[in-house]
A and B are shown apart, each in its own frame.
Chain A
Amino acid sequence: MKKAFKLISVIAAVALLVSVMAACSGSNGKNGNTGNANSAGSGKEAPKPVLKRLNVWANEDYNTYPVAGLLEEATGYKVQHDMLPQDKWVEKLNLIMSSGEEYDLVTSYSDMALYSDYAQKGALVDLTPLIEEFGPNIKTAIKPESIEALKVNGKLYAIPTTVTYKINSSILIRTDWLEKLGLQMPTTTEELKNVLQQFKEKDPGGNGDRNVPMTIKGDQAMIDNLVGAFGMPNAWNDVDGKLVPRVMDPAYKDYVAYVADLYKQGLIDREFVANKDATAKEKFSSGAAGAIVVHWADIPAIYDALTKNQPDAKFAYVPALKGPAGEFGFGANAGFDRLTFIPKSAEHPEDAIKWINASLEPETFKNLAIGVEGTHHKVVDGAYEPIQPIFTDERNLANNFMAGTDETNYPQYWQARVRKNPVMFEAFDYLNNKLPEDAKKENALGLAPYMKEYSKSNQQLHTMLNDYTVKLIAGVETIEGLPGFQQKFLEAGGEASSNEVNEWYATVQK
């Protein structure tokens, strides 16, 4: 009898000891929480509580990352960070929110449907009075239009970090192939077609059967840059004063006809339907493809691989192509990247706001974003350049610590992150800084307030349209079936969304 009990208690003791040790090595947040029950923020003398923050996934531990120490010193608050999983974070967040975990701050990816759901169910703290009282820096840092876009029933429940750049991707083309064939960089859709035809016939890469003029991945039915050339750079575009989804756009037919023709002539990867992200990149970086449609952030990996395989290879983004009707442009990001909110179950809502306020104090924020001049970055021609490797080591995850940004200065600070890789920066710089402003067609819905129908069906409609467009391009469906599909699209929520979107759009048009 005794022996058995001994064994059990030994196991229990070991388990306890280990978990205590693990908790301590992470941070000693647990002790702090119980020690500071008064969150009333009474007077300066009261010890500052340890704040619990739930954040998005990162590939390093927040609690030991250098920025955590910096912020603790600058704000006077110790923050204990937990993080959501990478996969299915929405489910996990729902679980945490509904079980009333005591987080003082929650930062998630910007999901307006989720956010307004929480807000309407009363799960979040109204921030307006708190900011009024404790948040002077917040008021100067966040622009009024951002605040407006986040209001649910007239109240503000979250502080945003806004997106910092406008254009994601375009067609990346092998300029050494162009030179070899004596071709100019294409500027119109017709010229692009011609270039791809030459790529196909003359095979400048010497790839034989493997030669692919332009590769895309299987779910990339809407090719950035080309959609702009047909006047529908964004998912919803203004047609005669109304916002219209691409499938209802009169230009949709022309776009599909153009891309389907490219496919038919073998100018777009024959196997594109089966291409995964990695397959498409493989084809380009092994030198088999002459063009690919990618995000600029993907460029470093592609560049490294391509130049190892073919040292003479060079590439550049194609400029905004002009379509048959003279239209051109890229869909430009607008809106939010992350949202930070305070759940009702928070123990220290006032301190949480004070913490955000302290983190947005201009000098602190700058240090958080790009570190100390001379140590982490240097200023060259008015631009911030990172000093490596310390910048990557100590500031790479800095954006994850932000709860709100200095919206005026952050886009400039942020470009230091892109400069970590010169090739990537060149591509980024071309798309985002060098392209004329009129080629950046802002997404009208980026800063739109929460819309119920739209949020509900947006994702599903997007997938539905994408699948259909892929079939049209690959010739599985014919364009004669379009009215039937449009009908289905409208019934699946397209009509309700459209009414709702335009009701709002009419109010901003005035």
Chain B
Amino acid sequence: MYRKTIKDYALDGTIYVLLILMGLMTLLPFVNVLSKSFSEEWAIVSGRVGVFPVGFQLDTMAFVVTNSQFLRSLWISVLISLIGTLASLLITSLTAYPLSKRELPGMGVLIVLFIFTMMFNGGIIPNYLLIRELGLINHLGSLVLPALISVFNMLVIKSYFESLPSSLEESAKIEGARNLTILFRIILPLSGPVLATIGLFYAVYYWNDYFHPMLYINSTSLKPLQLYLQDIVMNADTSSALDKSADDLMNVPAEGVRAATVIASTIPILLVYPFLQKYFIKGVLIGSVKG
């Protein structure tokens, strides 16, 4: 048996202290924003708010979460994340399933074509023109359609499908099941972990995506939360006051309001993580240790 010496304890201690410090370093800014969102505005402006709120109050938060634009943006984001995730999962598994069959003719070419799109794409302007010609500018479809399938995610699902025993399918075939029945009745029910993982990937992507809405959405009523958030936060940057008129300066949202908006829009997706955490680790491992 190896016994720990004083030196080992000292080393362990230092490592723990360092890691805790680093953890706190990433946590502190978040806590600071959190306490700002519950503090009095005057305390924030004079730089008194650190870890704990100064002059605790809930009015700012209440103001933010009852703001109609915030609620509408939240609704749009939830909607896109839900519909987008479900649709993406469906399309991705529908693509992955045939590609997991080694007997598929022309499979090599197909895989190469898919991987090609991972590395090269048309770029922003052609994409914009495409979306415009499809009539999807200012339409929620423009946020879901372009991201329906991610080749990387599709490959992860494909390799999971490949790891399932083929005898399952054979026996189903003997019972007279056709391909779609096999996929939906047998394969997908067995793919819970990988679907949860990829689903979370997609959900986080849809939730966090601000680039596509920035390009394609002009209408206020269709802006998802990230876009709303960006507008609120960027607005406060008065360092470029030169190009701002006094009317805009007078309407800069209070620091507390911005902090509260950031918190209120982070919480929903944070809540999803703990519930999917167990699948998450399992699912990511699946891709790596197959045999």
Tell me the A residues contacting B by CB distance below 8 Å: 1, 3-4, 7-8, 11, 14-15, 18-19, 22-23, 25-26, 54, 57, 59-64, 81-87, 92, 95-96, 99, 101, 109, 111, 163-165, 168, 217, 219, 276-279, 281-283, 285-287, 295-298, 301-302, 304-306, 308-309, 337-338, 396-397, 399-400, 417-418, 420, 424
Contact = CB atoms under 8 A, between A and B. Distances in A.
A14 to B, nearest CB: 7
A81 B214 CA distance: 16
A295 B246 contact: yes
Contact of A305 (B46, B132, B253): B46
Contacts of B230: 85-87
A81 B234 CA distance: 21
B41 A304 contact: yes
B32 interface: no
Contacts of A397: 251
B83 A15 contact: yes
Nearest to A2: B180
Interface in B199-236: 214-215, 218-222, 227, 230-232, 234-235
For the complex of A and B, 8 pairs with smallest distance between CB atoms: A282-B47, A26-B221, A297-B249, A82-B218, A305-B45, A286-B46, A305-B42, A87-B234
A342 B129 CA distance: 22
Interface stretch (B4-12, B139-147, B153-161, B167-175): B139-147
Nearest to A169: B241
Contacts of A8: 87, 90
A246 to B, nearest CB: 15
Nearest to B178: A1
A11 B214 contact: no
A417 B247 contact: yes
A191 to B, nearest CB: 28
A337 B245 contact: yes
Given A81-B220, A95-B215, A11 B87 contact: yes
Given A82-B220, A304-B41, A277 B48 contact: no
B137 A101 contact: yes
B37 interface: no
A286 B47 CA distance: 7
Contact of A61 (B221, B234, B254, B255): B221
Nearest to B241: A295
Contact of B69 (A60, A92, A305, A308): A60
Contacts of B220: 26, 61-63, 81-83
B50 to A, nearest CB: 12
B231 A26 contact: no
Nearest to B230: A87
B31 interface: no
A270 to B, nearest CB: 17
Nearest to A7: B90
A82 B219 contact: yes
Contacts of A87: 230-231, 234
Contact of A308 (B42, B218, B251): B42
Nearest to B185: A3
Taking each of B41, B45, B128, which has the highest tally of chain A beta carbons within 10 Å of its own beta carbon?
B45
Given A165-B246, A282-B47, A304-B42, A96 B141 contact: no
Interface residues of B, number: 56
Contact of A285 (B45, B222, B250): B45
Contacts of B44: 305
B184 A4 contact: yes
Given A22-B140, A285-B45, A54 B239 contact: no
The residue among B40, B69, B87, B246 with the most chain A CB atoms within 10 A of its own CB is B246
B42 A18 contact: no
Interface string B167-203: 0000000000010100010000000000000000000
State the main secondary structure of chain B at its contact with A.
helix
Given A11-B86, A83-B220, A92-B214, A304 B45 contact: yes
A122 B227 CA distance: 31
A310 to B, nearest CB: 10
B263 interface: no
B290 to A, nearest CB: 27
B221 A63 contact: yes
B266 interface: no
A11 B79 CA distance: 11
Nearest to B180: A1
Contact of A57 (B184, B221, B231): B231
A370 to B, nearest CB: 13
A396 B251 contact: yes
23 contacts: A3-B180, A8-B87, A11-B86, A11-B90, A18-B140, A22-B222, A23-B222, A59-B235, A63-B221, A82-B138, A82-B218, A82-B219, A101-B137, A163-B245, A165-B246, A277-B238, A286-B46, A305-B43, A309-B46, A399-B245, A400-B247, A418-B246, A420-B250
A59 B253 contact: yes
A246 B246 CA distance: 25
B243 interface: yes
B76 interface: yes
A163 to B, nearest CB: 7
Contacts of A164: 246
Contacts of B219: 23, 26, 82
A333 B43 CA distance: 33
A459 B67 CA distance: 37
A19 B140 contact: yes
A109 to B, nearest CB: 6
Contact of B141 (A15, A165, A396): A15
Given A86-B234, A305-B44, A418-B250, 18 more contacts: A3-B180, A4-B90, A4-B184, A18-B79, A18-B140, A26-B221, A57-B235, A59-B231, A59-B235, A83-B220, A87-B231, A109-B243, A276-B239, A278-B47, A287-B46, A305-B46, A308-B42, A399-B245
Contacts of A286: 46-48
B76 A22 contact: yes
A296 B235 CA distance: 18
A281 B42 CA distance: 11
A19 B245 contact: no
B218 A54 contact: yes
Q: Which of A281, A285, A297 has the most CB of B within 10 A?
A: A297
B264 interface: no
Given A4-B94, A95-B128, A14 B180 contact: no
B180 A4 contact: yes
Interface string B246-276: 1101110111000000000000000000000
A399 B87 CA distance: 43
A140 B221 CA distance: 36
Contact of B231 (A85, A109, A219, A306): A85
Contacts of B227: 85
B43 A219 contact: no
